[in-house]
Amino acid sequence: MAARAVWLAFRGGLGRRQAFSTKANVQVKARVAERTSPVTHALRFIPQGSGRITVEVIEHLERLALVDFGSREAVARLEKAVAFADRLREVDTDGVEPMESVLEDRCLYLRSDNVAEGNCAEELLQNSHRVMEEYFVAPPGNISLPKLVNKNPSYTAKW
């Protein structure tokens, strides 16, 4: 907690793009990263005791990423991770082009249009839990959402 207070004060001192009051209950809105890349939703931090990341956000993420935030610890760890990464915003990047990737100075290798792979159906099908006549077998349609929350562990086990 002390660390966090220090962090907030630090940001206040630098007085960057985000203006905020020095009140204890601060609602700091993380901006959607418009200048960098369309990465994810904006997450709303509400430092009022219990969750800083809301239940709706967790549910939404669980559906999208098919992960299971089973416990409070997992959510707390996520919050800490976001806060840790948030410190990047302290850097003044006005007028600096965002980096696309650490590879951006490399040359993108162009392969010539030859057939060099494939014909390994048997090997690939060995990886699948269920197979039918050289086809992979999947559950019907798409993964239906309401059942997701319960089925998570067994779903990941299948693949």
Query: Which residue of 91, 111, 126, 153 would you call a contact of other proteins, by CB under 8 A?
Result: 111
Query: Which residue of 113, 153, 154, 157 would you call a contact of other proteins, by CB under 8 A?
Result: 113
Query: Judged by CB, which is closer to other proteins: 1, or 107?
Result: 107
Query: Judged by CB, which is closer to other proteins: 73, or 97?
Result: 97
Structure tokens, 94: 């006005």
Q: CA 148 to CA 130: how far, in whole Å?
A: 20
Residue 15 touches other proteins, criterion: CB under 8 A: no
Q: CA 128 to CA 125: how far, in whole Å?
A: 5
Query: Judged by CB, which is closer to other proteins: 73, or 123?
Result: 123
Residue 66 touches other proteins, criterion: CB under 8 A: yes
Angle at 79 between CA 82 and CA 98, to 5 degrees: 10
Residue 119 touches other proteins, criterion: CB under 8 A: yes
CB of 82 to other proteins, least distance (A): 15
Residue-by-residue DSSP string for 36-77: S---SPPPBP--SSS-SS-HHHHHHHHHHH-----SHHHHHH
Residue 104 touches other proteins, criterion: CB under 8 A: yes
Residues 25-64 close enough to bind other proteins by CB under 8 A? 37-41, 60, 63-64
Angle between helices 145-158 and 55-65 (to 10 degrees): 50
Residue 134 touches other proteins, criterion: CB under 8 A: yes
Structure tokens, 65: 């990423």
Contacting range for other proteins; rule: CB under 8 A; set: 2-10, 13-21, 82-90, 101-109 = 101-109
Tell which residue, 43, 49, 54, has the closest CA to residue 25.
Answer: 49
Positions that interact with other proteins (CB under 8 A): 37-41, 60, 63-66, 100-121, 124-125, 127, 130, 132-145
